[in-house]
Amino acid sequence: MATQDELKQQAATQAAAMVQPDTVLGVGTGSTVAFFIDALGARNRQTPLNLQAIVTTSNRSRQQLEANGFTVSELAAVDHVDLCIDGADRVDHDLNGIKGGGGALTLEKNVAINATHNVWIVDQSKVVDRLGGFPLPVEVLPVSCEQNFRRFDQLALQPQYRLNEDGSRYVTHYGNYIIDLAVDPLPIPAGLAALLDQTVGVVEHGLFLNMTDEVLIATPEKIEHWTRQ
Ligand SMILES: O=C(CO)[C@H](O)[C@H](O)COP(=O)(O)O
């Protein structure tokens, strides 16, 4: 029986084969994406892909891409992204997901929304009938974080500040905090997404609805390939 890491690697390797030469590539964050970056690096060393540009969503992925010989650009420096490959924390059968377990949700959503084609790579443990079972990250501005924390509490969303191992508050790439919400399961994802979108002081949230075009799901038997209808 394949381990979870072997399943992640299988999905990642298949995604690396989807990258077309001479294109602009977006690369996400996480352990599954880490397998993707290594697979892409190996492919590129064998036959150079001559990518126009690569943008990524975290310093971690940037360092790994650079270690694999790629030059990484800022999102603002490219005029389009052809394909974005990213992981996900949960995905439902409508190809909606929760992302941001690694705290990179704001840049992940910005790259995804600007990509012509989005592909998520996951192992079967990420698939759910209804979104939930994973803390929903909400990136908030420090200036109004306490007010928003109380608002989420009043809405019974069980807010928790994300913390570092030493107990200090986790600070995002953009100097903000993350409040994780307990949604298990989430009855109306679009309703909560709309509420968060309209909340002043919320920078971004981890509900990625109608955003991905394809999901590669590694199971012990095969890699399932879901596409948006
Ligand atoms: O959204 C993300 C990071 O913010 C990741 O894509 C998500 O957490 C999946 O990670 P992994 O592949 O390690 O399970």
Atom number, ligand 1, closest to the C-alpha of residue 120: 6
In short, whether 135's Cβ falls inside 6 Å of ligand 1 is no
Residue 129: the pLDDT is 95
Distance in Å, CA 101 to ligand 1 centroid: 5
**What's this model's pTM, rounded to 2 decimal places?**
0.96
The residues, any chain, with a CB within 8 Å of residue 46's CB and separated by 6 or more, are: none
pLDDT digits (tens, 9 = 90+) for 137-185: 999 999 999 999 999 999 999 999 999 999 999 999 999 999 999 988 8
Determine whether the shortest distance from the Cβ of 26 to ligand 1 is under 6 A.
Answer: no
Give residue 185's pLDDT: 84
57 marked among binding-site residues: no
pLDDT tens for 200-228 read 999 999 999 999 999 999 999 999 999 99
- Residue 187's pLDDT is 84
Domains of the chain: 4-128+209-227 (3.40.50.1360), 136-206 (3.30.70.260)
CB 195 within 8 A of CB 183: no
pLDDT tier, 127 (very low <50, low <70, confident <90, very high otherwise): very high
Mean predicted confidence (pLDDT) in 100-110: 95
pLDDT for the residue 99? 97
Of 29, 19, 3, whose CA–CA distance to 51 is shortest?
19
Predicted complex ipTM: 0.98
Give the model confidence (pLDDT) of 31-40 as tens digits: 999 999 999 9
Q: What distances in angstroms separate CA 185 from CA 4, 105, 111, 132, 135, one per listed residue?
A: 23, 20, 27, 4, 10
DSSP-derived letter for residue 171 is: B
| pLDDT, tens digit, 9 for 90 and up, residues 60-96 | 999 999 999 999 999 999 999 999 999 999 999 999 9
pLDDT at 131: 95
Residue 205: per-residue pLDDT: 98
Mean pLDDT of the chain: 97
Residue with tokens 């929760």: 98
Q: By the 8 A CB rule, do 135 and 112 touch?
A: no
CB atoms within 10 A of CB 84: 27
